[in-house]
A and B are shown apart, each in its own frame.
Chain A
Amino acid sequence: MHYSLRIGLGTDSTHSKLQSVEDALNQYKQPSQYVGVRSIKSMSPAVEPWPKEMLFSLDERVAATRYDRKTSDKTDESTKMSREEKDEVYRELKLKEHRHIDRLQLFHQAIYGADPARQRLIHFWLNHFTIGSSGPSDFMIGHVIHDTIARGINGKFADLAYDITRHPGMLTYLDNVYNIGEKSVRARNASRNEQIGLNDNLARELMELHTTSPSIGYSEEDIRQAAKILAGWGDIFDNPKTVKNFKEARIKDFHLAYFKDKAEPGKKTVLGKEYPKGIEALKLLVDDLSISDHTARFLTRKLCVHFIADEPTEQDLNHVFSAWKDSGGDLNVVHEALLNRATLSTQPKFQWPFTWLVTVLRVSKAHLVEGFDNLHREIMHHRGEYRARALAEEIGQDFWSRRQPDGFSLQSADWISPEHFERRMRLAAMIHDHGKPSLLADDLMDLLEVSQGTRTLVGKGRTNRDRFVLLTCSSEFMGA
């Protein structure tokens, strides 16, 4: 297996030769332009800048979420609306399907972008800090990709972890919007019938899944205390007019959705360390969790498993761990160390279904995912089945699906089943039949510098189609 599949998505920023280490490193260091194709109907669609109006700011996303919440409440609860009025509301809602646009953008950037190696990293971190679909978070996942992770992967892990923890998408997905201090102003002023108190969902996953892992040996009390620190980081989707202290919450950039009246007063102690009251405590806590050796070890392992092998060698692990420790979790340094080990490794590495799909499309220069101009028509006319969504769902890896916060498995055993393999064959044939690939199996074998064994296998195919399927589903291409 050529390392270009391990570190990138086959071809490099030029789309014509294999991903090199130097080029991958350059991509790691800075974001590149968002691009896509307008329509896949033409023979050779041109790659163009991604339309600005299809990239949404956090403000726009918050506004859309509020609108969505308001209108869906209306349609749920009002029986007085006429059929026409309801249809109108649904039509407007359809226009606000940010998640479909975001999903399409993720596909296009991976297939057409000049930064495939960087995209691979983004997919990894998007999965590490999983935000699944759950109402408002649907609108937010795109922002986490374009803003929080895109910026965060060039900084300290601690800052990335902090930014995602207080991101409205995460606060919603892991229920922190319901986490209110038991001795907070809100709780003291609450009527007897109101149920108010802590919700430890985000606190638990922050420690278990995002930073230290259970290996650090935290107690239930540690989680409770962390939940107290998180209390107050709240729900910016409520109507500002109905929420007291909205102004006081200083919500200017929506990363500061901290509601003083919901915060737990007093000091807190997590893992033996004391934290002050107030908004500052969360940053201090995330910094302390991030700097722990347990976090370094946990994250090092995850990165190595994803990019190198199901069972990485001690040397691989130690190399990346040292980079993490020496740099204090500077992801630029960590990623470079990882890249170097991944390039050296000769072990096979199973590729995620999503990674495999975009790699096949990218290297063969095929077009199966709808162009951005066709998005609206797609949403309206395909009985809700949007092509990018159908593809993501059918390969079993949609980043906008409802799923658990531990994300998609990094272990090949969890992806090896007849149905998963059947999908690969089905999609490979579909790309050949409908995707108008510029490169067929023989060209691809030269490009990818495949082994003699793979050439022999592909040689057994009698048609171009069979050869295309055999190559893209070979053990060398799939990594298993």
Chain B
Amino acid sequence: MLSRRLFLQSSSASLALAGIPISGYTADLPKGNIVVIILEGGMDGLAAVPPIGDPSLKKQRKKLLANEPIALNPFFGLHPSLGGYAGMLADGDATIVHATNFPYVKRSHFEGQNVMESGNMLPFSDRTGWLGRALDFAGMPGRALSMDMPLIVRGSTELDNYYPANLTGSADPSPKLADLLSSDRDGDGAVTFQRVSTKYSDKPKFVARDPVSLAKYAGKQLGLPEGPSAAVLRVQEFDTHANQGTDWGPHSRQLTELDDIFLGLKSGLKAAWGKTVILTLTEFGRTVKVNGSVGTDHGYGSAGLMAGGLLKKGQVITQWPGLATKDLFEKRDLQSTIDYRSVCAACIETAYRLDHDIVAEKVFYEPALPRMTDKLFG
């Protein structure tokens, strides 16, 4: 039985799909897929991928360590809730990048989320997102699947979205009226009503809104010959300030959801798994020390979880900074020694066949961004 408490805590996920080619237009493009899973709230990389070989871990994290991590190698373990993902690692289809993040150090959720979605280090200065810009450069117009249009895929004016209504007693809008409403305005508003019209010209199918259904649906859509090339899934509530939990508890529940999403994507993608890369994003990691309420506060470095057939092999990539207090960023947070923008850039280069220099300069505005493609992709 689903208890009331669990019901209250079951989180909402949402999905956006983008980069659906116009028929005939991009048929000859070598199409790979990028799936971004946004872990909102600040995911604790030390709980998800604990560095069990670091002697400081136990000292700093006694109250929040999973008792039975899955051993990956002598130095790193994996939280027991990520069993499905561990299987992908064993198959050589997953890579973890640790002690990494976007170089944003001010610990605000809202600035941090804006930076990781826009790809612009100056918060709130960009109206487009890095994945949207990448899709533009790759010549792929987009379509999204969520109520809102996530910043990360904004860029192209060709964006569309889909999140089926669930209103008893309502009828589908008429394309004709949507055309008229489109003619009544300019710019984004006009384009947006045009999309409504197109959509209702052929009747859309209903998709359940739970995370696993969304992940499977996303996988299937990405696998279609003329399907989208990007998907964005959002999982909320990684902001575990209090009672974060160990083998079980709130953080573990979130990781289970993440694990289900990885598995759902894989089962939906089928053969397209081979040309797909999935990566997680989070605005920051969490403090190394446990706080006063058996939780952790906003930090800096975290871990990025990647999966998909495009990856070279099962591995953990890190330049481990250490967990002794003297090694921490501002004596409190895990350092980020790898710029996660390099990881995102490598995914774009590989999946969309764009040149590193273009991605670095035009998508991330950082011409000197280090290239990581050869480490991640074979």
Contacts and interface: CB of A to CB of B under 8 A. Distances in A.
B56 interface: no
Given A72-B5, A434-B169, A417 B177 contact: no
Contacts of B173: 422, 425-426, 429, 469
A182 B292 CA distance: 8
A422 B165 contact: yes
A475 B184 contact: yes
A378 interface: no
A178 B241 contact: yes
B120 to A, nearest CB: 15
B241 A406 contact: no
Interface stretch (A14-22, A241-249, A453-461): A453-461
Interface in A428-480: 429-430, 433-434, 453-454, 457, 460-461, 466, 469-470, 473-475, 480
A429 B170 contact: yes
Given A416-B189, A461-B177, A469-B177, A425 B241 contact: no
B108 A417 contact: no
A417 B149 contact: yes
Interface in B158-205: 159-163, 165-174, 177-178, 180-181, 183-185, 188-189, 192-193, 195-196, 199-200
Interface in B5-21: 5, 8, 11-12
Main secondary structure of the interface of A (DSSP, over half): helix
A204 B160 CA distance: 36
Nearest to A76: B3
A196 interface: yes
A474 B242 CA distance: 46
Contact of A208 (B108, B144, B200): B108
B308 interface: no
Interface in A97-148: 133, 135, 138
B4 A90 contact: yes
Interface in B35-77: 40, 63
A382 to B, nearest CB: 9
A254 interface: no
Contact of B4 (A93, A422, A475): A93
Contacts of B168: 385, 390
B272 to A, nearest CB: 25
A175 interface: yes
A59 interface: no
Contact of B184 (A75, A93, A416, A457): A457
A29 interface: no
A135 B166 CA distance: 25
Most buried by B among A180, A204, A416: A416
A426 B294 contact: no
Say which size band chain A's interface belongs to: 35 or more
B162 A419 contact: yes
Nearest to B105: A220
A426 B200 CA distance: 12
Contacts of A135: 5, 8
Nearest to B108: A208
B266 to A, nearest CB: 27
A418 B292 contact: no
A422 B330 CA distance: 48
B295 interface: yes
B171 A470 contact: no
Contact of A417 (B4, B148, B290): B148
Contacts of A197: 291-293
A420 B237 CA distance: 24
Interface string A158-172: 000000000000000
A404 B171 contact: no
Contacts of B93: none
B166 A394 contact: yes
B292 A178 contact: yes
B236 interface: yes
Interface string A183-197: 000010000000111
A200 interface: yes
Contacts of A426: 165, 167, 170-173
A421 B173 CA distance: 10
B181 A474 contact: yes
A418 B297 contact: no
B270 interface: no
Contact of B167 (A175, A220, A430): A430
A178 B293 contact: yes
Contacts of B291: 195, 197-199
Contacts of B166: 390, 394
Contacts of A394: 165-167
A405 B1 CA distance: 31
B181 A402 contact: no
B27 interface: no
A420 to B, nearest CB: 7
Contact of B180 (A72, A90, A391, A457): A457
B148 A420 contact: yes
Given A75-B3, A204-B298, A426-B167, A178 B242 contact: yes
Interface string A312-333: 0000000000000000000000
A402 B12 contact: yes
Given A76-B3, A201-B241, A422-B165, A460 B180 contact: yes
A179 interface: yes
The interface centre, meaning the residue of B161, B178, B189 with most chain A CB atoms within 10 A of its CB, is B189
A402 B11 contact: yes
Given A90-B4, A214-B111, A390-B168, A425 B196 contact: yes
B192 A417 contact: yes
Nearest to B176: A466
Nearest to B159: A417
A280 interface: no
A414 B169 CA distance: 27
Contacts of A402: 11-12, 236-237
B287 to A, nearest CB: 10
A208 B161 CA distance: 32
Contacts of A220: 107, 330
Contacts of A415: 148
A204 B110 CA distance: 12
B189 A175 contact: no
17 contacts: A179-B292, A196-B292, A197-B292, A199-B241, A402-B237, A404-B40, A404-B109, A417-B148, A417-B149, A418-B161, A422-B173, A423-B167, A434-B169, A453-B184, A473-B177, A474-B181, A475-B185
Interface of A: 72, 75-76, 86, 90, 93, 133, 135, 138, 175, 178-180, 182, 187, 195-201, 204, 208-209, 214, 220, 385, 390-391, 394, 396, 402, 404-406, 413-423, 425-427, 429-430, 433-434, 453-454, 457, 460-461, 466, 469-470, 473-475, 480
Interface of B: 1, 3-5, 8, 11-12, 40, 63, 106-111, 127, 144, 146-149, 159-163, 165-174, 177-178, 180-181, 183-185, 188-189, 192-193, 195-196, 199-200, 236-237, 241-242, 290-295, 297-298, 330
| Chain A to chain B: the 8 pairs with minimum beta-carbon distance, closest first | A197-B292, A178-B293, A418-B195, A425-B173, A475-B185, A417-B149, A195-B294, A430-B170
Given A214-B106, A474-B181, 18 more contacts: A175-B242, A179-B293, A199-B291, A199-B292, A199-B297, A208-B108, A214-B108, A405-B109, A418-B193, A418-B195, A419-B146, A419-B165, A422-B165, A423-B165, A426-B171, A430-B170, A470-B184, A480-B189
